[in-house]
Amino acid sequence: MPDTSFPLFISCAKGQEDLINNELTALELDDVQIKMGGVSCTATLKQSLQICLWSRIAARVLLSLKAFDAEDETQLYNELVDFPWSDVIDVTQSFAVDCKLNGSNITHSKFAALRTKDAIVDYFRQQQDQRPNVETQQPELQFSLYINRNQATLYLDLSGESLHKRGYRVSGERAPLKENLAAAILMRCKWPERAREKQALVDPMCGSGTLLIEAALIASNTAPGLNRTYYGFLGWKKFDASLWQSILANAKEQQDFSQMPSITGYDNDKHAIYSSKQNIQAAQLDEYIHIERREIDQASPRLASDRGIIVVNPPYGERIGESEELSELYSQMGEQFKNQFLHWDAFVFTNSETLGKAIPLRAYKSNSLYNGALACKLLHFHIEPNWFFEASDGFRYIPLEARDNGCQMFSNRLQKNLRHLRKWAKRENIDCYRVYDADMPEYAIAIDLYQSEQILINVQEYEAPKDIPEKVSKKRLNDALSTILDVFAVEKNQIYWKTRKQQKGLAQYEKQEQNVAYHIIHESNLQFLVSLNNYLDTGIFLDHRKTRRLIADLAYNKSFLNLFCYTGAASVYAAQGGATSTLSVDMSKTYLNWAKRNFSLNQLTDDNYLFEQADCLQWIKQCEQTFDLIFLDPPSFSNSKRMDSHFSVQDNHETLIQDCMQLLDKNGILIFSNNYRRFKMSALVMESFNVENISNKTLPEDFKRNPNINNCWKITHKLVS
């Protein structure tokens, strides 16, 4: 004779219905239908008990007892007092009733629950002249009444209390993650498949250890309800104790700890570490989960050979004033992912889209999940260089209404500049140009637009005066970057920003990070490699654009020397302009290799295009060759250990120019350039040579708002007649 089947509704949090459906598939249930907030089905007694024991996602397993109209409290009572309660509950048993309403004429759920309790008690008084007792804490039977638009359904709650209560939590931090939500997060991370592959799992902010414990239960195929001692079905008249014992025995047989992956939790709070250790021990998993107190910037794989996933539920910042501090935490967390967990995947559960944007990684996917009433996102990240935001460094998007009042003026200025410069750039066939350069003192940044495979925005923040509080300058920067996103209509990963301040040695040129990302830009029918994420300067000086064109015009049939050549852009122009030879000299091997790549990119492969790594100051004194055209563009300051002495362009340009003129052919031309805004040309140089200040002639249109940004001089020998 076939087993009796019961109509069930298995409830869950919104957005997890498909996960419940996946769990029920293994039990071969009939009439499974996904609905809002759960799944309906029919199940045998055995299957019903198995769902209570094995579901990692369900909140409650509800058995439908009666469906009826409930237009008012009288009809509700009359329908329930006639129900055959003795088929479900014995008069000696305790019970409780809860009620939920939606669009009902009955407006108070507690009143509806009370009338249901009255109906049960009155039924037994009429039938047996006795009454069962009401018990609110773990009653023998729990009834649930749902009234939706005056349509009522009475359920017996087989779970008794929410199934997220696994029985192992003995200690918890404030507002811990519910166990079934943690399991849902792990299912979205495809942890069951990853665990079978023995991938590692790390939670760097483990709190009370919920994610770790649920991960270990999944990896060991341990039924989540195995430690529970209380279920609603235990007091049900149709409950079969021997069947339940066989289900429990079978579940214990299915446990397998022989192939457990590495599972590790860190937290910087000693109380959280204590809580997680207590809970892990109560779950009898302390042998399989490693817990350690560490700051987020110390999180790392436990074993060097580990590869796998990071799963983390960081703070959300619900209270006013927390978001800025937490933005830094999220940024720091993302940087640690990049530094220590390369080639892993990360999953961050948060209810704050703004905080999610502070993570310097681009999410490739997200899932919507609810933590109680909070709508949250599970952000998926590949920790791979091509997904990095190299220069975001804690930048968080600020909504327009939360920005300072001056941002509207800043936005207006950007839009005005763009209208003018876009027309000019189109006429001149220019892909990259400066849009803004500290036009407003409150927003002391420079903004350059680079048109490569997409629009890229390079933002350089000038170092704030010491009397400006760091908090104020940081707020202005976040406001400005948020406004840039809006005005340029770009995504966050298209913006790169850095702080420009006086650097030491070659710091203004040397790499800031290891993973270099190059983009190709076009200028005057030439191509150049730029990197916006790894260097303070990008590989091409936009303010030298007209100077490079001048060099191309002067270079035909000339030998060309480029001192402090950087990435060789001026040398490429000279070669394209018909120079018979070019020699590019710089101290940095990195930038000489970059220069060679720029030559190759433009199919300039002549053997007369040479490169030499040297200290230019010393090289000039030792060189015995002469040149027809020299470009001299030294740094404003340098005290690099690679140079024999401290260098200042103002203090040392006189000697430097004199030495260069020794290498210049008698009919040759020296183009001398520098970016020191208070530069004054030496009187001795002016007397010794023909010196023409061509700064105005070489100043590009996009830099005319700040004419002191570049000094350029054309110097030749005074010929004796």
* 554 and 645 within one domain: yes
Task: Count how many Cα atoms sit within 13 Å of the Cα of residue 347 in the half-sphere of its side chain.
Answer: 22
Q: Give yes or no for a contact between 62 and 155, defined as CB atoms under 8 angstroms apart.
A: yes
> Considering the domain boundaries, does residue 472 fall inside one?
yes
> Considering the domain boundaries, does residue 237 fall inside one?
no
Tell which of 331, 362, 387 closes a domain: 387
* 577 and 439 within one domain: no
Query: What CATH code is carried by the domain that includes residue 72?
Result: 3.30.2130.30
* Distance of alpha carbon 137 from alpha carbon 71, whole angstroms: 30
Asked whether residue 113 carries a pLDDT value surpassing 60, the answer given is yes
Tell which of 387, 421, 438 closes a domain: 387
Collapsed DSSP state (helix, strand, coil) of residue 343: coil
> Considering the domain boundaries, does residue 227 fall inside one?
no
For residue 566, what pLDDT band results from cuts at 50, 70 and 90? very high
* 442 and 321 within one domain: no
* 414 and 361 within one domain: no
* 646 and 597 within one domain: yes
* 357 and 215 within one domain: yes
For residue 510, what pLDDT band results from cuts at 50, 70 and 90? very low
> Considering the domain boundaries, does residue 523 fall inside one?
no
Query: What CATH code is carried by the domain that includes residue 423?
Result: 3.30.750.80
* 116 and 29 within one domain: yes
> Considering the domain boundaries, does residue 460 fall inside one?
yes
Q: Strand pairing partners for 284?
A: none
* 428 and 379 within one domain: no
Asked whether residue 79 carries a pLDDT value surpassing 90, the answer given is yes
Q: What is the tally of structural domains in the chain?
A: 4
* 590 and 699 within one domain: yes
> Considering the domain boundaries, does residue 392 fall inside one?
no
The one-letter amino acid code at 421 reads: L
Q: Kindly state the tokens that stand for 646.
A: 């401290």
Task: Classify strands 345-350 and 374-382 as parallel, antiparallel or unpaired.
Answer: antiparallel
* 284 and 193 within one domain: yes
pLDDT digits (tens, 9 = 90+) for 8-62: 999 999 889 999 999 998 888 878 899 989 999 999 999 999 999 999 999 999 9
> Considering the domain boundaries, does residue 234 fall inside one?
no
pLDDT digits (tens, 9 = 90+) for 659-692: 999 999 999 999 999 999 899 999 999 999 999 9
CA distances from 661 to 157, 615, 623, 628 (A): 94, 18, 12, 11
Mean pLDDT of 504-533: 69
* Distance of alpha carbon 389 from alpha carbon 492, whole angstroms: 8
**Residue 78 lies in domain:** 5-157
* Distance of alpha carbon 276 from alpha carbon 695, whole angstroms: 67
pLDDT digits (tens, 9 = 90+) for 185-197: 999 999 999 999 9
Report the phi/psi class of residue 38: left, alpha or beta, with left for phi > 0 and alpha for psi in -120 to 50: left
* 697 and 668 within one domain: yes
- pTM score: 0.62
* 87 and 22 within one domain: yes
Report the phi/psi class of residue 656: left, alpha or beta, with left for phi > 0 and alpha for psi in -120 to 50: alpha
Q: Strand pairing partners for 674?
A: 711
Query: What CATH code is carried by the domain that includes residue 206?
Result: 3.40.50.150
Q: Give yes or no for a contact between 190 and 175, defined as CB atoms under 8 angstroms apart.
A: no
pLDDT of residue 179: 96
Number of helices (H), then strands (E), in the chain: 20, 30
Tell which of 474, 500, 526 closes a domain: 500
pLDDT digits (tens, 9 = 90+) for 250-279: 999 999 999 999 999 999 999 999 999 999
> Considering the domain boundaries, does residue 232 fall inside one?
no
pLDDT of residue 320: 37
